[in-house]
Amino acid sequence: MGILTYSGEHDGFRQRVRRFLEKEVVSQAEQWEKDRRVPKRAWKKLGEAGFLCTAVSKKYGGHGKDFLYSVIVAEEMVKTGQNGLVSGLHSDIVVPYIESFGSEELKEKYLPGCVSGDIITAVAMTEPGAGSDLAAMETTAVEDGDEIVINGSKIFISNGVNCDIVILAAKDPSVENKHEAVSLYILENGAKGFTRGRKLEKMGMHSQDTSELFFTDCRIPKTNRLGEKGHGFLMLMQKLQQERLVSAIWNVAAAEQILEVIVEYCKRTNICGKPLSKSQATRFTLAEMATEVKMNRVFLDHVIFRHMEGQAVTEETMMLKFASSEMSNHMIDKALDLYGESGALETNPLVRCFRDLRVNTIFAGTTEIMKTIIAGTMKL
């Protein structure tokens, strides 16, 4: 028995998610990749089925479920072989900012739509000159009466094309302390002065709409600020724990899927009259891969358990994020090597996975940033 306890209700939920994704997502994944975008109706269907924002309180139209439901959706989504309909970003990374820090008015206004899929969310932190160092952002937010005037730009924003609202990080230029200058705001699609730039063409995750966002004297109500003024950086740091955990869930689930695919390939593929899986070199490689996956899974489940208990696992999530992302990239390299020449074909089921996984060591904090912060906790 693992450290995580899944009930019969959890198991039933997983089966419903799996059936839904097989019908509504797997069959559409190839077309979404060609279109370079997931249609909004797919988000709507996901919401109608009850698979978005499972943790949101019933008071706001949610389901009030525990974090294991989020884990289940993420794990099953990995098996669809596409990374455009990234429900975990919406449900478990962006929406929690609203539920945790939004006023009652903002929660009632936006959360029901987030649950139903009528509202797609994005979070805008990264800028052309400010990625890992969030405090170095240049986008400004200046108070003008009852409004906030925003100027600046953001880049590499997932859901940037489809999003209906954006959780925007911007600074007050009059505040000298750069960490105390940042606040978070909700910005709606259609706000005057808010424009979307080009949809970025990436090496992977082709169906995910990633874009630039621009703000030119963009005005929003002051009431759209999340939490207190100047607390934005603290909010970001607080929520990064779950963001990195969600990223790790995706990494480990992807690695498990890769292992399953390559093991089956090696069993059914004959080389010199015997299955490839009977070669000592192959067996050793697969054993090493299985060990890496298992170690990351045990660590992941341990951190999920502690996170659900409300414990601070900031250091562990950073370790897990960098370890799992590096591991999943290592796994796909090894798997494609075992495929040989067919590992270079677009028809290979793991080629898209290879492209999609590469960025995982970069977003939600690069491996180098994770190591830097971990070293700091060690007082090095």
Number of C-beta neighbours around residue 136 at 10 A = 12
**Is 346 a residue of the active site?**
no
d(Cα 200, Cα 209) in Å, to the nearest integer?
8
Q: Which residues contact 164 (CB under 8 A, 6 or more apart)?
A: 113, 118, 119, 120, 121, 188, 189
Among the listed residues 198, 196, 142, the one whose alpha carbon sits nearest the alpha carbon of residue 166? 196
Among the listed residues 14, 117, 120, 130, the one whose alpha carbon sits nearest the alpha carbon of residue 61? 117
CA distances for 101 relative to 94, 98, 142, 224, angstroms: 11, 5, 20, 11
Is the Cβ–Cβ distance between 327 and 251 less than 8 Å?
A: yes
CA distances for 249 relative to 26, 27, 242, 298, 343, angstroms: 20, 24, 10, 11, 25
Exactly one of 212, 243, 256, 316 is catalytic; name it.
243
3-class state of residue 203 by DSSP: coil
Is the Cβ–Cβ distance between 331 and 380 less than 8 Å?
A: no
- So which residues are the catalytic ones? 243
